Amino acid sequence: MTGFFITFEGGEGAGKSTQIAILADKLKARGYDIVLTREPGGSKGAEVVRHVLLSGAAEPFGPETEVMLFAAARLDHMEQTIRPALTRGAVVLCDRFYDSTRAYQGGDGGVEAGFLGTLEALAVGDDAPDLTLILDIPAEIGLARVTERLENKGAKHTTVDRFEKDDIAIHEARRQAFLDIADAEPQRCVVIDAKASPDIIADDIWAHVKPHFEAQADAQGGVAT
């Protein structure tokens, strides 16, 4: 089997981590080699940059600097984690990828699309995602989930990160940016209604994921179950 690259995208509180774990279990049960990863992060070098970005330490330097840091982390992530996994035939499930950079730093974020595209090409090359699942949820609901999650962790862990702290209008603009990406690239992107229960969302995701593995299995003389 050749490698397959699936990214999960969406706003804060959309449930990406939950759904990645569910999909990983389904694919593992069918015998697939699964690599779970995330952005920013996913490799030793990129995890260092993750701390800088999510702590807000890079924010005073402006959005272009943040984007270049994301690109540097993504390049290391690609070289150290994603490409080796795809080369050996693994299924890579990534929590956020370049569509988050487009939605968060592009558009209202102030970074030109041409600049983003250049950095994407340098970091990703020909290894773009095979499938992107965009978990769509109104910003108000997603942020309420984030607040509830932080409260459940206790007072010592209630600090929001660099991007969670933005106001609801910015979060809603990012939501629309994700939907615009899906409209522009329907061959790659699928929009999933993330307001439903986790089980219903998981079934919806599997309905879109399964055909890709059936097609690969048929091409190689097997059948995905």
The pLDDT value given to residue 150: 75
The pLDDT value given to residue 160: 54
φ/ψ of 56, rounded to 5, equals 90, 5
The pLDDT value given to residue 214: 85
The pLDDT value given to residue 59: 85
The pTM for the full model equals 0.90
How sure is the predictor about 161, in pLDDT bands with cuts at 50, 70 and 90? low
For residues 134 and 116, give the distance between their C-alpha atoms in angstroms, rounded to a whole number: 19
Q: What percent of the chain has pLDDT over 70?
A: 91
How sure is the predictor about 154, in pLDDT bands with cuts at 50, 70 and 90? low
The pLDDT value given to residue 180: 97
Q: Are 19 and 149 in contact (CB under 8 A)?
A: no
